[in-house]
Structures are given as C-alpha cells and as structure tokens.
Amino acid sequence: MQFGVMTVSDITQDPTTGQTPSEAQRIKDTLTIAKHTEEVGLDVFALGEHHNPPFWSSSPTTTLAYIAAQTERLILTTSTTLITTNDPVKIAEDFAMLQHVSGGRADLMLGRGNTGPVYPWFGKDIRQGLPLTIENYDLLHKLWREDVVDWEGKFRTPLQGFTSTPRPLDGVAPFVWHGSIRTPEIAEQAAYYGNGFFANNIFWPKEHYQRLITLYRERFAHYGHGTPQQAIVGLGGQVFMRSNSQDAVREFRPYFDNAPVYGHGPSLEDFSEMTPLTVGSPQQIIDRYASMRETYGDYQRQLFLIDHAGLPTKTVLEQLDILGSEVVPVLRKELQKNRPAEVPDAPTHANMVEKAYAGAAPRQAVPAANRGDNLTAGSPYQDAAKAGSAFGSAATRVGA
C-alpha cells in the first residue's frame, strides 16, 4: 500500500491567533510540508486544484514539478485535477511533462471540482458537468495512447492529426484515479477504463462510500479488467493526533469549530462518529484506519488531510512526524496481514512499465523530421511503424 497526505491548498485564519498567512507564506509552507512527507517515510503527496480565494493552487503541475526536484522517491499526484474545465490536450501535455521531469513519480486524480463558479470562468456550463467529464476523459485517454489523434466531440473543437507532446515516459501513460465524493457515474467511468477509483472518504458516512466502492468493484469486473478484489481503490481520511487523546481533542476543537467547510455545523464528536475524521492518540488512528479494509476491502492508497482549517505549519509537521514514526509503519503491517495474493500492489510507473513490456526495453519516443503534417505523412515518430507496435492508431495509419 501507499500512504501519503493531501492538501486542498486553503488559506485559512488560525482561530487561536487570529492570523491568516499570505499566499506567499502558505505556498512556501506547503513546499516544506511536501518535502517533510518524504523525510518521514510516506509515499505520496497530493495537491488540489482551485482557481479562487482562499485557495492558492491554480497550477498544480508547476508546484509538483518543483517538489519533484526537491525529492527523490515521493510520488506526486493531484486531489483533484479538474477534468471538466481544463482542456484535455493541456492535461495530457502537462502531466506527461511532469512524468518526465519527476522520473515517473507522477500520477493524477481527476474530478469535477466543488466550486460551481469555476465552470463559467473557463467558459463551461455546470449543467454539463457529467457529459464534460465523460467526453474530456475519452479524449485524454486517447491522447496518451495514440501518437496521432483524430477526434471530434461536443465540447471542444475537433482534432485532426494531432500529436500530444511529449509522449508519456517509456510509452506508459500516467496512472489515473477518478475521484468522487458522491457520484456513481464516476465509479462507472473508472471501472470502464480499468483505472483507479478514489473515494473522498471525508464528508459522508462509511455506508455512502461503501456503496460507491462496491459499485466500482463490480463494474471493474464486468468490463473484464479482473476480479472485484483486483480493482484499484484509494481512500481519503482526516486525522489529528497527540500522545494523549484529550490533548488532541482540546487542541483541534477550535480549528474544527471554525473551519469554513464544516465549522458551526455538527459537533466534533458527532462529525467524528459519522465520518472517518479521527482526533485522538496514534493508537486510535491505527485502530480506525486498520478497520477500513473490513468496510471497503483491501485497497491500494490511503491519503490523510492534515494541513487545513488554519493549522500552523509547525503543528502540521508534528502531525507528519507522528504519522511517519508511530502510525503508518503499524498500518503497513496491519493492512498487509492476510492480504490475498490476487490483490494488486499500488500502481507505480515501474510496475506499469513491467506489465506493459514484460522485461523488454520500454519505448523511447524518437521524433522523425518535423514535417508539421501528420494528416498525410503518418506518425511523426520513427518507431511507430515497427511490427507489433503498441503505440496507437498512428502505427497503422495509411501512409505511415
């Protein structure tokens, strides 16, 4: 399994001091948190995408590329990338580039977003959220798997003879998670493509996410990708820890009570009972999250939200220290016990390359002379016409 943290990039007033960090300070602090995630032995850092205050992360790939240069093994991903309002062509190019500069330590989570006004800001209609999601990902999927794409849809101009550059690292597209808070159609989409399904697992009772994950597993098998147990599942989570549970509750309560997302709503105790939010000792965190497999089955990725609601950076780094030293090592062991052999490992670039090539040398895309004309001259890559090429429709295009 992979363990990590996710941030929504909020800039929130600390209710205990009345201070709100600047955008510059919050960005700097987030970079520190990301690097410390690797230092304490966690596997994944995930960054959200927003285009409005009080959030700062409008360009996740820029930030993740910087973090990639500051780390050695940390997997970098999003939580989420907006498949509805971003152009699929730009997503394809940006994340293939992130793949290259990170040495394969990159994947992405796609979502529709939770800020309604973002749709008109980017010229989209929120009433078309689901059709946009379906059509845009269909194009993104093709762009990473076909050297030359001819495509026509409803929501963007057609493409003729288009090549997205750079090609995915080693000829293997970044792994895609489809993230959802409440929408069964997203579980269906993830299952159809054989991609991962990531359940937010923060705002709703476990029975809600259990239904979504069960649907995803059943449809994953229906589409012939494997057994339900072989489906790739990720979960969110939310924790706050101190050695003594009473200290954890006392310290976290003002942040919970004033958080923009759920402040002035249910009590901390009620919310903790209804959702996976766990505030207490490291052992309480271990007990709560080790039991997730009983509800959702064996899964591949667990991400924790720990840096929101105005929590000071010093406190967040302390939370990471506890996760890395006391919680995650135990969870790794607990969630590995009696894990069926058929349950796949968490996806990485290395194991996807091995699956695609079975030990053979992976593709290294080498362009031919730039003719600027894929329509009549076939693929612009030298290797595309090789017998048995698995690099898309360009390999068999007439005239290639």
Q: What is the pLDDT of residues 32-51, one digit of tens each?
A: 999 999 999 999 999 999 99
pLDDT in the model for residue 263: 78
Mean pLDDT of the 211-235 span: 98
Strand ranges for 314-400 from DSSP E: none
Tokens of 368: 């031919």
Mean pLDDT of the 167-177 span: 97
Mean pLDDT of the 337-351 span: 96
Per-residue model confidence as pLDDT tens digits over 364-399: 999 887 665 566 556 788 886 543 334 443 333 333
> Does a cis peptide bond (omega within 30 degrees of 0) precede residue 312?
no
Q: Which are the contacts of 352, defined by CB distance < 8 A and separation ≥ 6?
A: 172, 175
Distance between CA atoms of residues 203 and 213, nearest Å: 15
Residues 373-384 as b or e (16 or more Cβ within 10 Å = b) = ebeebbbbbebb
Check residues 170 and 392 and name the one with the higher pLDDT: 170
pLDDT in the model for residue 373: 59
Tokens of 325: 């030293």
Question: How would you class 194 by CB atoms within 10 Å of its CB: exposed for 0-12, middle for 13-18, buried for 19 or more?
Answer: middle
Residue 156 pLDDT level (bands cut at 50, 70, 90): very high
pLDDT in the model for residue 398: 30
pLDDT in the model for residue 343: 97
Percent of the chain with pLDDT over 90: 80
The mean pLDDT of the chain is 91
Q: Residue type for 343, please? A: V
Q: Which are the contacts of 98, defined by CB distance < 8 A and separation ≥ 6?
A: 61, 64, 65, 68, 76, 106, 174
Per-residue model confidence as pLDDT tens digits over 44-80: 999 999 998 999 999 999 999 999 999 999 999 999 9
pLDDT(182) > 90: no
